[in-house]
Structure 1
């Protein structure tokens, strides 16, 4: 009995229990009839419960995504097209004949009225009685006529509006009218250059809610052209493939044409859509419906939509149910940001995207790198905007942990451009406050050491840094501490490029039993070439832009510092990096670099120029120290450590040793006999001797015949 009672209760979801027991004296017939009565009543109770939500959804099939039905739907004004066809009555079975008759009489307006009247009947019957047996007949007639007579039917505004009303009617997905409307619209509009804005309103309304017709493959041509209203660029298929996402077929096969160029107040109309999306975001929060994200993809050409999506992107990427839709949305944002001048909205969008916590996921990290590359590809100026935002965050109190990874992505995308942008930002930092020197050095040291390894071209970065200093600042606006901070920053750069491989190679080279591998040789030669270039860039900067330094002694010291002729204490005393033991190793590596003729000429030209605040004594001392350091080593290839091709450099160093009286003496040059400063003069002879001995193939013969004193010195040295 308990089992039977249990079954009875299971079949009664809404009451109606039967009393069983001794008091019931019904016959078997009666006992059988009572359950039958209840079985007839139960469907009524059950259907009453089930019909409630169907009525709330206006007869639509519930979507599998979270509902947004509480959002105010778009109001459809159908008064215009209803008045257009008010006098037309339709006989469903005669509709096709009536349309053919209108065509034969060349009355396109009458045909348009007939179509409007037919759609009116479909809509009215659907609202009043639900399904209508005549609906398939009328839809077939309309489809056949429009397909065969597209050129005859001009795209009347009333025709477009009535079909948009049909799209907005709450039909079930299987309804013929629901399937017919978008097909007729595309047939009528495919040759038109200007489309009605009602199409966009209908699309947004359906896209945000049940998506009854938006996702149908048959309306691909309509949808792809509708989204041009927002100026949206469609992402490349390769971006989807790289992120393991399925590329929509409609974007692969259909070409888009902007059909909304002549729409008035388009920005205000789009703003209304943005407000609608913002309202959904505020109410739903992290549990936003999928349809919202899919709609935002197609509207990503609008800056406000991109900003709204970027602010919510982190929570959506961390939501398992929305992650794939959010990934797709990020690709659409990346494809549309940076088209033209960077707006305030796009700057805020970038700022939000560069702070994504979801980057800790490897999948999201790959996605973000693809999106970032697309952003940088859209406009070369975007790399500057991204770098500024990253460095601003890096030097702020709320430092984001993935800044270094993103800056590394900039270098991997375009090393030269990224180096130029970062150098410009570093120059701005150094000029802002003297205290920023330590912060800048710490940041760059961490960045190069942890990420770039051997890919860091410090000579190129130095060149960009000096260019930024000369282009962005003038003598009148430059801070007094800037020049010193600039030099203190630059002297660190070659140290960062000395990798463990280079240190090991240098030790092997100095060891008596050392055996250099080809890897060691390649690493050393590359470093020597970069360092030689670094020396030339620095000395050329001093020569051409000495006015940036107001302290003459600091200017002279800067030569010793960038050429690594200063004491080791200077290099360790800025911020205690590198430590003293490391500095000594670095200095030994640097001392083996060959000295170029161009470097010598640049230093000598600066010493010869009265406008450059380095005198003859300092110039000769710098040249002497460079020459002596180079003469104590040898090259890897067996060539000269100080390669000099002609004796012009010798003539230049002797001219520097000439005595030049102070301007206060008022001595004319023609009244002054040729004099030289004795100490500098003999230093010049010794330097010339070293140069000659290091260039036996190019200088010995010329010097031997043209410089008698040097010839005598050479003989003394050889016969001593």
Structure 2
């Protein structure tokens, strides 16, 4: 290291021997005494690595949950010893590590293309070998983790990740790979959108691995601002497909918790897209919305969602929409459906108590009433300002929409599509 510390451009041979040792016995790649040298070589891959503290914390959390599968990830995956001792090894290595001497800086800017070509060739050769999945090297997964800065690596890895996560021999390095993949999905280009599409389809059952997957989803959202909208859209489309992932609602719940203001707006945009279809999607949209509210335990900003439904769209799909009048009427229906879905058990109890003359514990009821008032205000503004610019709604239908958002329309107009709310809740 000392001989090349001042050089900005390092020779490609360093990358080649790094890959050789990474796939082999990892004698020096995982050594604390070579850490600075390895860190400088890894600048060639432009990979953002999870901090070691994240690994230790996640392993601690996993231990509390009673599982023996780590939910963590490491920037320098440890040597392939027994998994149960990995945390202790990392802590010991941390204590034995000498003081970092030497800076970490990009060393392969001039050779970036040739280095990338070499790395991709090696990985493709390794992944395309005819071998049972059980024989895939844990060290290969560790190398993939370190090279996730390349979009091609992310795409190659995600297509096999579900099998690796479900293989007990590979679970821990596969979790590291999943975390690295999500942290580096930062281009929002065609390849990364394909990566996200594949991530959405991954089916996981063990609770520990599923919890880790949700942590990785959060990192994916942090990696690029546009990943949130893509995730929401793909999750909803998967939910409506024949190959529905049973984890969809849990993923959506994570998205809503991570971005409580923005996620409902993106969700509303997906519902708008559904209503622009030639086929009538209102019944399906109402059922989907009810399921989302139920599964996410009402943890959604209804006002943001409703405002998103009323947002004017400038895309060609909307400008040239064939059923504009139907679109306005159905958005109005979803607005009223959303307002009614905001009635939680606590709000219902407070309302019953209010009818009996009891005036205690009304904070929840007042908050609900204020939210409804804000949504109705926005809806009247939408009908007055936006609707006339996008559609020529017949006066009869226009007045129907106005009465409907103000809940002054005939009761049957609110439940005629799917008999919801049920009769017991219509009083």
Q: TM-score, normalized by length of structure 1?
A: 0.52
Change over 3 Å in CA distance of 1:301–1:193 after alignment to 2: same
Any conservation in 2 of the 1:383–1:418 contact (CA below 8 Å)?
yes
Q: Which has the higher contact order (CA 8 A, sep 6+)?
A: 2
Aligned to 1:537: 378
Give 1:261's match in structure 2, choosing from 103, 106, 109: 109
Is the counterpart of residue 445 in structure 1 residue 290 in structure 2?
yes
Any conservation in 2 of the 1:427–1:469 contact (CA below 8 Å)?
no
For the residue of structure 1 that corresponds to 2:311, the secondary structure is: helix
Give 1:561's match in structure 2, choosing from 401, 404, 407: 404
User: How far does residue 329 in structure 1 lie from its aligned partner after superposition?
Assistant: 1.4
For the residue of structure 2 that corresponds to 1:491, the secondary structure is: helix
Change over 3 Å in CA distance of 1:302–1:475 after alignment to 2: closer
Is the counterpart of residue 527 in structure 1 residue 368 in structure 2?
yes
User: How far does residue 372 in structure 1 lie from its aligned partner after superposition?
Assistant: 1.1
Aligned to 1:74: none
Give 1:456's match in structure 2, choosing from 280, 300, 308: 300
Summarize the alignment of residues 32-181 of structure 1 with structure 2, pairs less than 5 Å apart.
Answer: none
Aligned to 2:273: 428
The number of equivalent residue pairs is 390
What stretches of structure 1 of length at least 5 have no aligned partner?
1-185, 585-720
User: How far does residue 258 in structure 1 lie from its aligned partner after superposition?
Assistant: 1.2
Aligned to 2:218: 373
Change over 3 Å in CA distance of 1:402–1:283 after alignment to 2: same
Is the counterpart of residue 205 in structure 1 residue 20 in structure 2?
yes
Q: Distance in 2 between matches of 1:402 and 1:255?
A: 43
Is the counterpart of residue 416 in structure 1 residue 257 in structure 2?
no
Q: Distance in 2 between matches of 1:220 and 1:563?
A: 65
Change over 3 Å in CA distance of 1:330–1:222 after alignment to 2: same
For the residue of structure 2 that corresponds to 1:419, the secondary structure is: helix
Any conservation in 2 of the 1:224–1:255 contact (CA below 8 Å)?
no
User: How far does residue 273 in structure 1 lie from its aligned partner after superposition?
Assistant: 2.4
Aligned to 1:324: 172
User: How far does residue 345 in structure 1 lie from its aligned partner after superposition?
Assistant: 2.2
Any conservation in 2 of the 1:572–1:583 contact (CA below 8 Å)?
no
Change over 3 Å in CA distance of 1:469–1:421 after alignment to 2: same
Q: What whole-Å deviation, never above 9, does each CA across 1:380-422 have from its counterpart, x for those lacking one?
A: 2110111121112111111111101000100100111101111
Summarize the alignment of residues 674-693 of structure 1 with structure 2, pairs less than 5 Å apart.
Answer: none
Q: Distance in 2 between matches of 1:206 and 1:502?
A: 62
Change over 3 Å in CA distance of 1:451–1:272 after alignment to 2: same
Q: Distance in 2 between matches of 1:499 and 1:420?
A: 21
Give 2:353's match in structure 1, choosing from 496, 503, 508: 508
Q: Distance in 2 between matches of 1:525 and 1:471?
A: 38
Q: Distance in 1 between matches of 2:245 and 2:293?
A: 18
Summarize the alignment of residues 303-314 of structure 1 with structure 2, pairs less than 5 Å apart.
Answer: 303-314=151-162
Q: Distance in 2 between matches of 1:457 and 1:472?
A: 28
Any conservation in 1 of the 2:73–2:179 contact (CA below 8 Å)?
no
Higher Cα Rg, which structure: 1
Any conservation in 2 of the 1:390–1:403 contact (CA below 8 Å)?
yes
Summarize the alignment of residues 275-674 of structure 1 with structure 2, pairs less than 5 Å apart.
Answer: 275-280=124-129, 282-338=130-186, 341-358=187-204, 360-453=205-298, 455-469=299-313, 475-477=319-321, 479-480=323-324, 481-511=326-356, 514-518=357-361, 521-545=362-386, 546-550=388-392, 551-584=394-427
Q: What whole-Å deviation, never above 9, does each CA across 1:149-173 have from its counterpart, x for those lacking one?
A: xxxxxxxxxxxxxxxxxxxxxxxxx
For the residue of structure 2 that corresponds to 1:452, the secondary structure is: coil
Q: Distance in 2 between matches of 1:552 and 1:290?
A: 67
Change over 3 Å in CA distance of 1:238–1:540 after alignment to 2: farther
User: How far does residue 541 in structure 1 lie from its aligned partner after superposition?
Assistant: 0.4
Q: Distance in 1 between matches of 2:424 and 2:169?
A: 56
